[in-house]
Amino acid sequence: MKLLGSALVAALLFVVAKYIFLSTPLGEIAAKLKSGADLTYTATYTTTGGVRATIVRQPPNLALIRGDRRYIVTSQDTWICRSSTACTRLPGSPTADPLARDVAKSFGGHLITPGVAAGLLLGAVAISNLKTETTRRTIAGQPSSCVAVDGVTKAVLDEAGLESDPGPAWMSVCSTDAGVLAELVVRRSDGRAPISMKLTKYSSGVAAADAFRPPPRAKVTSG
């Protein structure tokens, strides 16, 4: 009976903690980004250095494209393309939203998935003395909610696969009302160029028929 009571208390505490988190600005935007995993869309971004990047989602398929690099996940396979002529095929799908470190390694931390952005917010909520500010903006024609967070720790950024220094970082994350990542900016304390992604074009469909296939001239090897 005591074990049952303890389990019930733990379950209730979890529900209360989840409710409290979801009622915070961090939780609200994280929940929006998580809900966007069910959408079909093509989102184009300007990333660090002015490089164009694209996220194409058609559940369970997901394609991340930046320059010549691609990270493609389908229900059967995963392809990691380091260039337009060389790809590695991995059998099976890791998750609908790839592992943060895999994506960071593929794109040098310059392309962040909505799931990873939500994870950054989830990690930040546990930081004490965190300063937050919320705003409403229109980004690429999409009504969006944003939260700026000052004091993000190295541990939170490392978990997302982003290189960071020991000092606290400033971060801003925006989600469209539909749950698409609209903007992400991370400013680290060591003066390095910020990590940035800003939505420039959005369509509720798959713009390219070959989005979930390696480039046609790519040599594919098995990993």
Domain ranges of the chain: 11-222
- CA-based end-to-end distance of the chain: 51
Q: Residue 111 in contact with residue 197, Cβ under 8 Å?
A: yes
23 CB-near residues (< 8 Å, 6+ apart): none
Decide if domain 11-222 falls under CATH 2.50.20.10: yes
pLDDT value, residue 86: 92
- Check residue 45 and give its pLDDT: 96
| Nearest alpha carbon to residue 111 among 166, 61, 43 | 43
Of 97, 95, 99, 147, the closest CA to residue 124 belongs to: 147
Nearest to 195 by CA among 204, 205, 203, 184: 184
pLDDT in tens, the chain (223 residues): 444 444 443 343 333 334 444 558 888 999 999 999 899 999 999 998 899 999 999 998 999 999 888 999 888 888 889 888 999 888 766 554 556 667 766 777 788 889 889 988 988 877 767 788 999 999 999 999 999 999 888 888 887 777 777 778 899 999 999 999 999 999 988 777 888 999 999 999 997 778 898 888 889 888 6
Please state the pTM of the whole predicted model. Answer: 0.83
